Structure 1
Amino acid sequence: MSKNKMTGRMWQLLFAVLFAGFVACEDKQDPVNDKPKPDTLVVEKDTFQVPALEKLVFYEINLRSFGPGCNLKEVEKQLDSIQALGANVIWLMPIYPIGEINRVGELGSPYSVKDYTDVNPEFGTLNDLKSLVKAAHKKNIAVVLDWVANHTAWDNPWISNTDWYTQDANGNIISPPGTNWADVADLNYNNAQMRLEMIKAMKFWIVQANIDGFRCDAADFVPYSFWRQAIDSLNKMGKKLILLAEGARTDHYSAGFQLTYAWDYYGKLLSIFGKNESASNLFTTHTAEYNSVPAGKHKLRFITNHDEYAWTASPVTQYGGKEGSLAAFVVTAFMSKVPLIYAGQEMAVPNTIPFFSVYPLNWDMNYAIKMQYRQIMQIRKAMHVSEKNMLPLTPDSKVIAFKLVDPAGIKDSSLLVFVNCRNVQVSYPVPADVPHAVKNLLTGSTEELPAQLSLKPFEYKLYAY
């Protein structure tokens, strides 16, 4: 064999060895370095665009009541029904594995998080969540997760880092001060490393499941500086997010949240329907509540939510019956830029709905009420209520009456809303300066408003002019 031929053969062998080594390196999985890194991965792109803030309608889901499946796949099956209610944001209560140490209730609280980057097998898998988000986006529905930043379960792996948690004088980790939440351990936001891990965990869901934001639990318990740090970091990912703070602190807005809870509105509505307070006082509360809201931000308004439905009473009890709860929702749907529907209220479920145990809802219950919810929300969407200017009509102790004025003054684009807040028939004096030739939005007929509008117990009327 000549020297030239031997040299060529040697080059062939060398190339083969190098190629084999390259393939072996490519196939080998490094369990640490190959794990997804939320800080470096690119968010999955799709054509979905998060709706404008003032056009959001939230639908909150307690998976343990979302029967019959009570899991993520069940939510995906019912997307059409959710969309029919006019909702374009699904808020999933915590989907993470639940702690077992000091567990409360039959199955534990979803707000006792054992692992921030996993899905509770009770509800499904990460792939189930991805499938739900993808299907929801195709229907122009956003999906936000409930985020529990104030505390963890006692058996969360983070607990080994004791300085990540609040401690007493003896160095013992404690539950959140001022609460009876014995199933969770309070996090220490003076620890910079813990903060970074919390932000990394939030990014995980944006990257891995393409979710559209967070409803942040007990936001008032967590310092402003962290929320500002976290939201600034999330915004750098380049994805438009929906950020709702369960709290009343005004600094949540400057931290980057677009929405906070309308607790004052909720309390006033309860007093009007449940304690016979004057209906006209709701407008005073509405104005006062928005005085502290910066331009371009909003309040999330509701007649109930998972805490109220579980621990206080059902809307049926709080507002004087099925029709009363419906009347309260009509006020909220048309007076609010961003309303919330909690799964179950649209059927006027009369009893409390737990979330420490499984309680599948019967979607055929009070079907007529559910159809009225759909009609109300269809009218709200068709009339572009979020774009109107709300102006109270003549104050009344029993009737909430206001108009929603179209800025362009287009015929049949402005609305009149009348809601009887009492379980008795009442008469409301229609102001003389209100157009009396109107279109009844509930029946489609053209009508002439009388000088005295008669309203049956808890009746509501919606007109266009």
Structure 2
Amino acid sequence: MLKRFFNKVSVLMMLLVMVFSIGKLPFSNSASAEQVKVQQSDSTTIPDNTIRIHYERADKNYDIWGLWLWGDVATPSAEVGVWPTGAIAFSNTQVDEYGAYVDVKLKDNPASINFIVVNRATGEKDGDAKGFTQFGEYKELYITEGDDFVYTSPDGSQVEKSKAHFPEWSKDATIYEVNVRQYTSEGTFKAFEAHLPRLKKLGVKILWFMPIQPISKEGRVGTLGSPYAVQDYKAVNPDFGTIEDFKSLVKKAHSMGFKVMLDWVGNHTGMDNIWTKNKEWYTLDNEGNITHPAGTNWLDVADLNYNNSDMRAAMIDAMEYWVKEADIDGYRADYAGGVPVDFWETARKQLDKIKPVYMLAEDNTTYSLLDKAFNSNYGWTLHYMMRDIAAGKKGAKNVKSYIDSMERLYPKGSYSMNFLTNHDINAWEGTTSELFGESEKTMAALTFTLPGIPLIYSGQEAGLDKRLAFFDRDEISWKDLSMQKFYQDLVRLKKENKALWNGTAGGEIRLLDTSDEHILAFEREKGDSKVIVVVNLSADHVSGSVIMDSKSVGNYKLFPSQEIFKMKNQQPFDLEPWACQIIVK
């Protein structure tokens, strides 16, 4: 989904800045818990079309906190008042064993809601923006102070094993996102093909192509438009070449050991898509006009109606087309949470009948997508956490909390895609050097060593130092490949060490005790493969020690130098700012 318009947490935050800047209204606290009788939550009393959100704090002081709401809620906070007093208030008088709670009335047929926990007096936020889409399945949500995840059970228990098929070739893969438009001066499939030998040397496995279909002209933004405003699902953007050019590229990539994944826009089409002749395939307003996706300003796209069975069948047919016709190996689903889970599950079943595919969901709130339909989703939480760490706002303890949450949220076997950047981040939020500064290489190492499948975006290995234009041509410079060797080493590290492989093919993560709060240390082990990572997540020089159990004591090698390293029970480390030591056995 495009950062210019929608929710990948930070963009919503940027949109909210416009609200924040309006000003504050006077605020007064509610009565204290001692003054009134405490009410207990009773799920049987939750009204229809309402969701109850529980919020737990260690200090049990809820009166000053509230939820700033937007999305498919009956009354968005911006309609109630300015930031932050327009937030729906928690209260010390309405609590249960899971903290304070509020009942949020929803619009009819809600698709998604979003919220931020905010101090209604000061504007202080507790965590990032959160979202939820699984309506009908749950009537209560649970959030906790300092935790950026939304849980559907009070104990945050882990869901069952994923039933999605995981292609054997994905077990040690790294994804590479291809922006054809900006990759070469020609901006074509044929011109990109010349880069395949270099990418083979880089070691990446999966080539994810941003949408390759023709772009709608109606409502077009910029000169060339957004690739996510698709005009015809079964055609190729003539700027890139022909269908035969693409098929030739896929064939060449396969011969070199790559797999090819296409970006798929299932939530909406361009405004002049060939499907618009079937108006019932789209969401219509009261006057019978095709609408844009609700809650957005995506004026170049039309919202699809997934209550229409003919549209669903046509969408699956179009997805099958590229697997059959071009022999692609999977899809990255744009705004996957905006499309019903059961559709994706049906589509995945049909695609797997043709060949085993890999499916990536652009989503990090609807974990049921990972039950049967998708292998992985977006690691937005880790991305923004790393940015906060780089800015000195968070630290090792937050990564530890994140790791614990991931183990409880993800269906076993599924995992996140970890990244420093992608087309959205680069275009709308900044370059990796802007966002991470001196910590960039350390954060990159974490994307390859923490559980998940890593992503490299076009130009990242060339130290991409500009924000690429999204709607026009803006060629990547390949003159400086100084980062190629760095990423080549990280890809090789992952491939050569089973402990770092994806999902259940890799080893589980175990956090290690350290003597300094700035040091993050963990190990992953699978069979005879073990990797230990020790990171200084601060801009200061740090000396400390890591506590190892007796099984982890012994001889290792430092990566990538291969220097012998003798691990002790209480191993001292002297770490420069943002230092990262990777120790391999």
Q: 1:247 aligns with which of 351, 358, 363?
A: 363
CA distance in 1, matches of 2:426, 2:449: 22
Structure 1 residues 402 and 432 mapped into 2: Cα distance closer, same or farther (>3 Å)?
closer
Residue of 392, 401, 407 corresponding to 2:511: 392
- What's the CA shift for 1:255? 4.3
Give 1:436 deviation, angstroms. Answer: 5.9
Superimposed CA distance per residue, residues 342-379 of structure 1 (whole angstroms, 9 cap, x where no aligned partner): 112223323222332222111232x3322111112212
The separation in 2 between residues aligned to 1:276 and 1:256, in whole angstroms, is 35
Give SS of 2:484's match.
helix
Report if the CA contact (8 A) 1:55-1:337 is conserved. no
Q: Give the CA deviation at 1:432.
A: 5.3
Q: CA deviation digits over 1:40-75, x for unaligned, max 9?
A: xxxxxxxxx954443221111111221243221233
Contact 1:328 1:421 (8 Å CA) reproduced: no
Match of 1:424 in 2: 540
For 2:302, what is the secondary structure of its paired residue?
A: strand
Could you say what secondary structure the match of 1:91 adopts? strand
For 2:9, the equivalent position in structure 1 comes to: none
Q: 1:107 aligns with which of 221, 224, 229?
A: 224
Aligned 1:5-404 pairs, distance under 5 A: 51-237=168-354, 239-248=355-364, 249-321=366-438, 324-365=439-480, 367-384=481-498, 385-386=500-501, 387-395=506-514, 396-404=516-524
Query: Which residue is equivalent to 1:447?
Result: 565
2:153 is matched with which residue? none
Do the aligned residues in 2 keep the contact of 1:326 with 1:369 (CA within 8 Å)?
no
Go from structure 1 to structure 2 and tell me whether the alpha carbon gap of 1:245 and 1:291 turns closer, same or farther (over 3 Å shift): same
The answer to whether the Cα contact below 8 Å between 1:99 and 1:112 also exists between their aligned partners in 2 is yes
Contact 1:105 1:357 in 2 (8 A): yes
Number of aligned pairs?
409
Deviation at 1:291, TM superposition (A): 1.5
C-alpha separation between the residues in 2 aligned to 1:271 and 1:317? 13
Question: Given the superposition, is the C-alpha separation of residues 345 and 377 from structure 1 closer, same or farther in structure 2, using an over 3 Å criterion?
Answer: same
Offset, 1:449: 5.7
Distance 1:288 1:419, change over 3 A: same
CA RMSD of aligned residues (A): 2.0
1:100 to partner: Cα distance: 0.7
Sequence identity percentage: 35
Structure 2 residues without counterparts, runs of 5 or longer:
1-165
Query: How does the TM-score come out when normalised to structure 2?
Result: 0.67
Give, in angstroms, the shift of residue 187 of structure 1: 0.9
Q: Is the 8 A contact 2:521 2:546 kept in 1?
A: no
Asked if 2 retains the 8 angstrom alpha-carbon contact of 1:150 and 1:222, the reply is: yes
Is 1:265–1:286's contact at 8 Å kept on the other side of the alignment?
Answer: no
Q: 2:396 is paired with a residue of what secondary structure?
A: coil
Does the Cα contact within 8 Å between 1:442 and 1:461 map onto a contact in 2? no
Q: In structure 1, how many angstroms separate the alpha carbons of the residues matched to 2:251 and 2:298? A: 35
Whichever structure has more strand as a proportion of its residues is 2
Deviation at 1:458, TM superposition (A): 2.4
Q: Give, as a single letter, the amino acid of the residue that structure 2 aligns with 1:162.
A: K
Aligned mates of 1:80, 1:428 — CA distance in 2: 43
The equivalent of 2:129 in structure 1 is none
TM-score w.r.t. the length of structure 1 is: 0.83
Give the helix-richer structure, 1 or 2. Answer: 1
Name the amino acid aligned to 2:488: R
State the alpha-carbon separation in 1 of the partners of residues 544 and 223 from structure 2. Answer: 50
